[in-house]
Amino acid sequence: MKKYNVAVVGATGAVGEEIIRVLERRNFPVKELRLLASTRSIGKKLLFNNQPIAVQELKDEAFDGIDYAIFSAGAKRTREFASAAIRAGAIVIDNSSAFRLDPEVPLVIPEINPGDLKNHKGIIANPNCTAAILGTVLWPLHCEAKITRIIVSTYQSASGAGAQAMEELKQQVGQFVRNEAVTKSVFPHQIAFNVFSHNTKIEDNGYNEEENKVVKEIRKMFHEPHLPITATCVRVPVLRAHSESVVIETEKKLTPERARQILSHAPGVLVVDDRDKNHFPMPLAATGELDVLVGRIREDLSNPHGLALFISGDQLLKGAAWNAVQIVECLIHK
């Protein structure tokens, strides 16, 4: 089996470390794994297949000989270094928002639009975590009944803001239970025992950046540029895995039974829908899972062509690391 040289940019971050674990989990044919990060992480060692690998400095020359470079270091770093990786002959899979809406850059979820990979020009964008989790579940329903409207409210975990945000939640919980003053630095509001509107800028249309990303990215991946979508994105005091309450309207009536049947055979989806035991998707159950969990599948009582669902998916996996590795797997098996 052919093996490949893979670089992980942002290797010491929450997503970067998950990429390393997913490569192990998938027994990916790695010849050399090159871990890249900022200067403050140089020399730090991370385990891959029980072997310590030292982190190297992220610079243009670091991509020499690399086949695939998976970026997870933010849009600024992608814009700064992606061109160097491409010049070195690597294909870039980027987890940031830098190129997601660029019409020249494919935005891909392998369960939805793998055909778009053939149009890449050296860089492929990984979708926003919320859009990835949502799209994976809705795509098979769209193929069956054509979705004409999506209403989604999200319950987004601290992991979406990175490792420091997860630590802040833990720290605040400890401060709260010890009756100490709760301190904050990552989030604008207390995250422990609280919920608040997603911590991104409110844009001119009244929606925050996260909500607008969901709308635009689902439209791009579904190849439905005018699909009506409205989103409300909220942070909740959950360490890991995002959840989403979704209502869809469809052109063709879709019964809960038929939707459950479709989703039970859909790639990347796991139906968790036990009404008798009141057991449905939860972030705790979704944590560590490559599949997206879906349940609470029921008719929308306000619309004869509506269906309601509840979704939980691991933001660090299907929402980031796993989807990126899946893209590479698609490229090597094309």
What are the residue numbers of the active site? 129, 242
Burial class (CB in 10 A: 0-12, 13-18, 19+), 223: exposed
Contact 196, 189 (CB under 8 A): yes
Start-end of H helices in the chain: 14-25, 75-87, 129-145, 163-177, 209-222, 256-264, 283-286, 322-332
Instruction: Please list, in sequence order, all residues whose beta carbon lies within 8 angstroms of the beta carbon of residue 183, skipping any fewer than 6 positions away.
Output: 171, 172, 175
Measured CA to CA, the distance from residue 243 to residue 288 in angstroms comes to 14
Burial class (CB in 10 A: 0-12, 13-18, 19+), 75: middle
Query: How many other CB atoms are found less than 10 A from the CB of residue 39?
Result: 9
The pair of structure tokens assigned to 311 is 């979704």
E-state strands within the chain: 4-9, 30-37, 45-48, 51-54, 56-57, 68-71, 91-94, 123-125, 147-156, 196-197, 229-235, 242-250, 269-271, 292-299, 306-313
Measured CA to CA, the distance from residue 226 to residue 203 in angstroms comes to 19
Contact 21, 85 (CB under 8 A): no
Pairing, β 306-313 against β 292-299: antiparallel
Is residue 107 within a helix (H) or strand (E), and if so which, with residue range? none
- Tell me the backbone φ, ψ of residue 285, rounded to 5 degrees: -75, -30
